A and B are shown apart, each in its own frame.
Chain A
């Protein structure tokens, strides 16, 4: 099964970069064979271009629900394709709309998409490190992604 592991975020904007740091942590571990590890700071239609020709996609992103503690990890399915930081919008199209568009255009898109989202504390300050609680989540999410890749994560 061709699998895309995609870290999303901005690596110079504190916790917004969590997806990128997880992707970089997983690069050596997972890349090769059926698994591709990538990172992106773009969303919307750019995301569509990245997803084409994969059977499965695992996205890692930050989220701000404001309801949980920083560092809290969520495993989200299709119902949540417009709530994380980089699936929400990119000049107007959220992931759900993008997938809808791609399917209408008969693009070969993943049948299965999972998002691991980490509650962010600060996405407004320039910096190349996450805040401490979010930093601690990096190895935890990384392990969850590895388990997901190897046959599904069991919560």
Chain B
């Protein structure tokens, strides 16, 4: 048996490894996506005060601290049985929209776009942000940096820091907006709407107008018919901060809709001997293996899933972009993994429009931003949509609010089963007996998981010493016979 190792996965937060096993005929027999184990998080949390959790959990991850901070804050609301005043909820959502804009911008321009703008077979040295700006223009590079900077400024205004905000408290938030700050946010929101529209235009020009790319997006190698999960508001529109969790089946029909506190009635976890990652699946469908289709409990989260589970977007320009995407890809649901890049940009536009709406909301400068909790804490669950998918925080405390038990299900883990399937499917379609395994071919396999915007930092914060892409090919005896770098 031959073994191909892609280690470490480039352009992925945290240290991951893909191993592909070939049979004696040279065909793909199996593949494994592995991440190293991080030890002791539960133990680390036990005995701490629950109100410290929004600060602690956002340290888990170097990429989406704000998502952990927000999920954790919502879990504390539930834990302390307190409902924050409306302005506080709006301020949390406002900060969260600013964060979304920075995060989706980073993923698209740093991780997603190079494959398309430079081409999947372009040399690694060019397939990065520098190549992108060389091709698309310095001006766009400046806009990427500026959009991130401006939205970090919003997080700084409210959270006191540009990352790792000190903001969410059980029952509300620590700081509001004054009129001067509100105006600043409003201007940044307007600029961000423009930037998101520009990004959709870049995608339109470079990807949608290129037949080869469109063929690749809809090809079987990058397609899975799965269930989808994501938050929706009361009108079943996409929402990031709060709502009910909706699940649709592979035909796009609503399968379930539940409140955060009910998540354990819908999600169970499957254990495999070769990885410490537990694979969440739909309890009411059952684990049937790494399989797609209606009989398999595998589901997907992240931008495309959110658009698939919703009936639309709550803002006008994003709604237009949403309709355009589904019309171009044959209606809902869309099962093409690569379409996640497109969905991400639709969401970027929604986040910017929603930021603008919130900045113009008469309540947003209110000082009514906190209700002091008085009830005895016991158990709390908070769910948000992290940019890379549904994120669940679940805490159990004693009557003093001291943590007894913590359970987190992070977005990347929700997608773990699907990621495995995506790698295997692409590998099987691309690696053929007698065909040379080139760098470009391996990149096309990486393109099967890159849209998920995997963040192993939530499960692992460890980086390798350097970040090349060594590919090791082993013969049947496990001996290294070829090395590509």
Contact = CB atoms under 8 A, between A and B. Distances in A.
Interface of A: 10-13, 16, 40-46, 48-49, 63-66, 82-86, 88-94, 97, 100-101, 104-105, 107, 123-127
Interface string B107-135: 10011000000000000000011100100
Contacts of A49: 145, 148-149, 152, 162
B214 interface: no
Closest CB pairs A-B (n = 7): A92-B11, A126-B44, A126-B40, A125-B39, A88-B463, A123-B462, A12-B59
Contacts of A83: 465-466
B163 interface: yes
Contacts of B12: 89, 91-92
Interface string B8-23: 0011110000000000
B461 A13 contact: yes
A6 to B, nearest CB: 13
A42 B155 CA distance: 15
A101 B44 contact: no
A126 B38 contact: yes
B44 A104 contact: no
B465 A90 contact: no
A interface: dominant SS: loop
Contacts of B317: none
Contact of B163 (A46, A82, A89): A46
Interface residues of B, number: 44
Q: Which of A41, A46, A82 has the most C-beta atoms of chain B within 10 angstroms of its own C-beta?
A: A41
15 contacts: A40-B163, A42-B62, A45-B106, A45-B148, A49-B148, A49-B162, A63-B465, A83-B466, A85-B463, A88-B464, A90-B62, A91-B63, A91-B106, A91-B107, A104-B133
Contacts of B465: 63-66, 83-84, 88
A91 B11 contact: yes
A29 B113 CA distance: 44
Interface in B21-74: 36-41, 43-44, 56, 59-60, 62-63, 65
Given A93-B129, A125-B40, A105 B142 contact: yes
A125 B39 CA distance: 5
A91 B133 contact: no
A58 to B, nearest CB: 20
B462 to A, nearest CB: 5
A88 B110 CA distance: 14
Given A89-B467, A92-B11, A124-B460, A42 B163 contact: yes
Contacts of A124: 36-39, 460, 462
Contacts of B59: 10-12, 41
B130 A101 contact: yes
B107 to A, nearest CB: 7
Contacts of A89: 10-13, 463, 467
B11 A123 contact: no
Given A44-B110, A92-B111, A92-B128, A105 B141 contact: yes
A112 to B, nearest CB: 22
A88 B441 CA distance: 24
A100 B65 CA distance: 26
Contact of B145 (A64, A66, A92, A105): A105
A105 B129 contact: no
Contacts of B162: 49
Interface string B445-485: 00000000000000011111111000000000000000000
Nearest to B148: A45
A127 B59 CA distance: 12
B62 A92 contact: no
A13 B457 CA distance: 11
B226 to A, nearest CB: 25
A97 B44 contact: no
B467 A91 contact: no
A105 B137 CA distance: 10
B164 interface: yes
- With most chain A CB atoms within 10 A of its CB, the pick from B41, B107, B461 is B461
Contacts of A40: 163
A44 B464 CA distance: 15
